[in-house]
Amino acid sequence: MLSFLDSMKEYVDKARQRAALAEDAYRTAASEFQAASNDLTIWSNAYALALKERERWQAEARETQTQLPMELPDAGENARQPPSIPVEQPRTEEINKAAKVREILAARGGITPAELWMEVKDFNMTRPYLYSVLKRLRDNNEVAVRKNGKYMLKPRAAEGKSEEMETEMIQ
């Protein structure tokens, strides 16, 4: 019977320890809840005060605002016409910018992007667009890039593109 009482005492001690841990957790949670409730109360009151202040400002603004007439006077024949703005007509001659880049690359043995930019900047081409054309040509294996950074058109790409251009021109 003695061993049974000893084992029961061990269970009671474990239960006390577990209850003490749970009580500590409860106190921590209760203090967290209290802090959160205080924050909620403070911010709710601050929000309500801000709303009241805004309503007061709006009421003051309505009182000081002058009333405009509801109807505009008829101007009749003396109505002022808006100034006419000349519209620039779009260019009918469009330049194929990528074809122009290919043409320049075919004409030169090797050219850096900066040199190429100096030649194509008059064709209404932005520098980022030039680099995107060069990247597209590089991705399609139409150009080769030397170690010194110069681009050159590959021979088979130059022949294939010129054949395609000729067939497009014929059609």
The three-point CA angle 129-93-138 to 5° equals: 30
> For residue 82, is pLDDT > 80?
no
**CATH of 97-170 among 3.10.450.50, 3.30.70.260, 3.30.300.180, 1.10.10.10:** 1.10.10.10
Sorted by sequence, the CB contacts under 8 Å of residue 106 that are 6+ apart come out as 153, 158
Beta bridge partners of 151: 111, 145
Q: What is the DSSP letter of 50?
A: H
Contact 150, 117 (CB under 8 A): no
Which of residues 27 and 145 earns the better pLDDT score?
A: 27
Distance CA 155, CA 45 (A): 78
> For residue 128, is pLDDT > 80?
yes
Instruction: Give the rounded percent of residues in the chain with a pLDDT score beyond 90.
Output: 27
User: Mean per-residue pLDDT for 102-125?
Assistant: 84
Contact 161, 102 (CB under 8 A): yes
User: Mean per-residue pLDDT for 12-37?
Assistant: 94
Q: What is the pTM of this model?
A: 0.38
Q: Of 71-75, 95-99, 124-128, 131-135, which gets the smallest average pLDDT?
A: 71-75
- Domain range annotation of the chain: 1-63, 97-170
In the block, tokens 């930019």 appear at: 117
What pLDDT does residue 149 have?
Answer: 85
Q: What is the DSSP letter of 157?
A: H
What pLDDT does residue 16 have?
Answer: 95
113-120 helix and 97-107 helix, angle to the nearest 10 degrees: 120
DSSP 107-150: HSS-B-HHHHHHHHGGGT--HHHHHHHHHHHHHTT-EEE-TTS-
